[in-house]
Amino acid sequence: MAPSPIRIVGLDPGLRRTGWGVIEAIGTKLSFIACGTVLPPEDDDLAARLAYLHTELVRVISVHAPDEAAVEETFVNMNPASTLKLGQARGVVMLTPALAGVPVSEYAALLVKKTVVGAGRADKAQIRMMIKVLLPKADFTTDDAADALAVAVTHAQHRCMAQVKARFAEKVALKVAAR
């Protein structure tokens, strides 16, 4: 039986720019659907920027109807105030799909880079290049959108591996039970 398609939205949180990317995965075959960047008005206060981020992500989820969401974990900045603000944006980014009933997974930036490029210390240019290789039709215009697609690809590959491990464990359990 052929695997059914799964639609994944990858999200790269930020208060100034939040990238989003939607892919479809059928087993290990990946297809680009859409991507973009949410740019809250910088002159708005924090609450208004967070509200704008939420509204735009609700629109993305409504239009593209993902089955699952994947969010990049944030790093701790040298500036505690910046880290707190980024954490608030990340909270909105995680909450929005969850409120829509979409399961949310998280991935460390190093794991995303290692999965997509093969090196945990990959730079933005390497990520862009590999996203173009993995998703030739991807039309991202920002690093944030490319990063979001990388998060979605990471989720697709890791969920596929989890399914393989589960099937293997099931077969082993059946063999053990048959003894």
The pLDDT value recorded for residue 111 is 96
Distance CA 179, CA 175 (A): 7
The pLDDT value recorded for residue 121 is 86
- DSSP per residue, 67-117: SEEEEEPPPPPSSHHHHHHHHHHHHHHHHHHHHTT--EEEE-HHHHHHHHT
170 is catalytic: no
CATH architecture classification, 6-178: 2-Layer Sandwich (3.30)
- Report residue 79 as tokens: 């500036």
What are the pLDDT digits (tens) for 132-161?
999 999 999 999 999 999 999 999 999 865
Catalytic residue among 12, 24, 56, 147: 12
12 is catalytic: yes
What are the pLDDT digits (tens) for 19-66?
999 999 998 899 999 999 999 999 999 999 999 999 999 999 999 999
Task: Write down the domain spans for the chain.
Answer: 6-178
Residue 109 sits at φ, ψ, to 5 deg, of: -60, -40
Residue 93: band (very low, low, confident or very high) from pLDDT cuts 50, 70, 90: very high
- Residue 167, pLDDT > 70, answer no
What are the pLDDT digits (tens) for 1-21?
677 999 999 999 999 999 999
Specify whether the CB–CB gap between 20 and 9 falls below 8 A: yes
